[in-house]
Structure 1
Amino acid sequence: MTYLIDFLKGIIIGIANIIPGVSGGTMAVSLDIYDRLISSISHLFKNWKASLKTLAPILVGAGVGIIVFTYTIEFLLSSYTLPTALAFIGLILGGIPGLWESFQNGLETQKQTISISHIIAFTLMFVLVVIILPILQESGTALTAIQLDPLSLIKLFIIGIIASATMIIPGVSGSLILMVLGYYYLIINTITLFITALRTGDMDSLLPNFILLSVFSLGVLIGIFLISKAIEFLFEHYSSVTYSGILGLVIASPFAILVNTKALNDLQTTQALPFAVVGIVLLVICYYGIYQLGKNETN
């Protein structure tokens, strides 16, 4: 029965990890499996049998959640872009109070006040998201499809490492990072193409998409084991500065959501008014839901 429960919890975590603005780490904390999950990952090589017993049902469930919900997300983003984007923004904004509280706790723990280092960390991440990344994407580095060449595979591998590092931090969304970096649509599209090719037996599409997903997944796995150690060090020794940077990234992220989804284009269609109204309602609901989830964690 425990395996079934962990499998179902894994499905929820998988769905959370694919929604920009929802933290898989936060969901794991709320489902009371975060400590077990991190401990199993950290001790995988020392106690691999016990670790695999814990990880297997959760990871399989997460995989199922990602596969099933990928199609839903792709449909919503293509057919109802503005309402979906505003819902994502509500999820992002709802997590900011929790991040701010974590930042304040870091200041108290380290007996600090807000300093120039905090302002620099916040500003650098904010500028990175709002100015630098959009300029890079407009100059042609943003791709419409992932190419099967060495340079693209190296980039995809690095993106996997970055995304995995953020997926395990409560309050930070790995999918949001992918969207900020301009790779969210590419990964979603690659997953759906692979699943479709697998279902239809299209070998011409199956192999290249399998290679792309394998490289990304390898980056994710390595990121979980390696980068998480660095993040653990940063939170232990420089938690307030680290949270300053995270706050800068998250507060700037609604801009990245609107740019990367091109959601504002819906305001020029005949559906502008209903899409805007529904989107604002979803924004408020999603904000409240994530805000309450964060409050429950600290109580």
Structure 2
Amino acid sequence: MHYLFDLIKGAMIGIANIIPGVSGGTMAVSLGIYDKMIYSITHLFKNWKMSLKILVPLLLGAGIGIVGFTYVIEFLLANYTLTTAMAFIGMILGGLPILFRSLGKSLKDNQEHLSLVHILLFVIFFAIVVVLPMLQGSEASLTAFELNAGSLIKLFLVGVITAATMVIPGISGSLVLMILGYYYGVLNTITVFLSALRNWDTAILFDTFFLLFVFGIGVLLGIFLISKAIEFLFQHYSSYTYAAILGLVIASPFAIIYNTHALGDLHASMAWLYVIAGLVLMVLGYIATYRLGEKE
């Protein structure tokens, strides 16, 4: 049953990573598995049995979430933007009680008091998440990548950068991809790969698989490098790290609403229905995330 819960959590993290403005790291924090996930990544070679026991169901779930919900998320964001955004905001906010308790425990264990430094870190990282969506450019490639040396180098480097932001709570890897101008290119490469797999078009299947494989190698390297840095911060500056993460997480709803243009649904004829459905899903999302997090 524990592996099933981790599989579900992994799927939620995977889905979060493909939605611009939603952070997979934030979802991991909200689900109460962030510390465990970081520790497993950084100790993969030292304690591989324990690490794989934790990471395999999470990675499998994330893969299922990304592949299985790519089309679903595109449909929901296109047709029910506000309702979908509110559901994810509820999921993210459901992790706040656990995060506040973690900060309090860290302060107590280190015999510290809430200081000006904690507040400044919170404000700075809150501001980063609020400003980041505003940097998004209007131009983004709508076509899939083609198999050539330039695309492979770009995808590897973008994978490293994106993965680093995926691990950091509050920073959306998809949003960073969008700012860099590669979000739709990567997303369309995934959909082309899935279409080729469904039709068993071996030529396109090979090209897109190789492109996504190189991107995946960059992602894995980025995750490993940033996880090492985050583990160091948790070990030596835990309360300050929690204060910064709180700023990132609390600012996330703004990034989601702004980046998805969800408030545009308020001008629709069925706006009241979208809002009511969104509020119901927000409460359910809050409860689901809180319960899953409490199990940790």
Q: TM-score scaled to structure 1, two decimals? A: 0.76
8 Å CA contact 1:182, 1:260 repeated in 2 = no
8 Å CA contact 1:160, 1:223 repeated in 2 = yes
Match for residue 169 of structure 1? none
Match for residue 262 of structure 2? 263
Match for residue 74 of structure 2? 74
Aligned identity (percent) is 47
Alignment deviations for residues 87-138 of structure 1 (CA, whole Å, 9 cap, x no partner): 011111111111111111121122111222212211111111112x133214
What value does the CA root-mean-square deviation take over the aligned residues?
Answer: 3.5
Partners of 1:46 and 1:296 in 2: CA distance = 26
Match for residue 172 of structure 2? 177
Q: Give the aligned residue type for 2:172.
A: I
8 Å CA contact 1:146, 1:152 repeated in 2 = no
Residue 95 in 1 paired to residue 95 in 2? yes
Deviation at 1:268, TM superposition (A): 1.7
Deviation at 1:244, TM superposition (A): 1.1
Unaligned runs of 5+ in 1: 167-171
Distance change in 2, residues 1:57/1:235 (3 Å): closer
The equivalent position to 1:155 in structure 2, one of 135, 158, 172, is: 158
Distance change in 2, residues 1:109/1:57 (3 Å): closer
Unaligned runs of 5+ in 2: 17-21
8 Å CA contact 1:180, 1:257 repeated in 2 = no
Q: Give the aligned residue type for 2:93.
A: L
Partners of 1:251 and 1:28 in 2: CA distance = 16
Which 10-residue stretch deviates more, 265-274 or 207-216? Answer: 207-216
Partners of 1:136 and 1:161 in 2: CA distance = 18
Q: TM-score scaled to structure 2, two decimals? A: 0.76
Please show how residues 58-137 of structure 1 align to structure 2 within 5 Å.
59-60=59-60, 62-131=62-131, 133-137=132-136
Distance change in 2, residues 1:284/1:204 (3 Å): same
Partners of 2:102 and 2:44 in 1: CA distance = 29
Q: Give the aligned residue type for 1:90.
A: G
Which 10-residue stretch deviates more, 146-155 or 287-296? Answer: 146-155
Partners of 1:91 and 1:58 in 2: CA distance = 17
Partners of 1:50 and 1:294 in 2: CA distance = 20
How many residues of Structure 1 are paired with residues of Structure 2 in the alignment? 279
Deviation at 1:200, TM superposition (A): 2.6
SS in 2 for 1:270: coil
Q: Give the aligned residue type for 2:228.
A: K
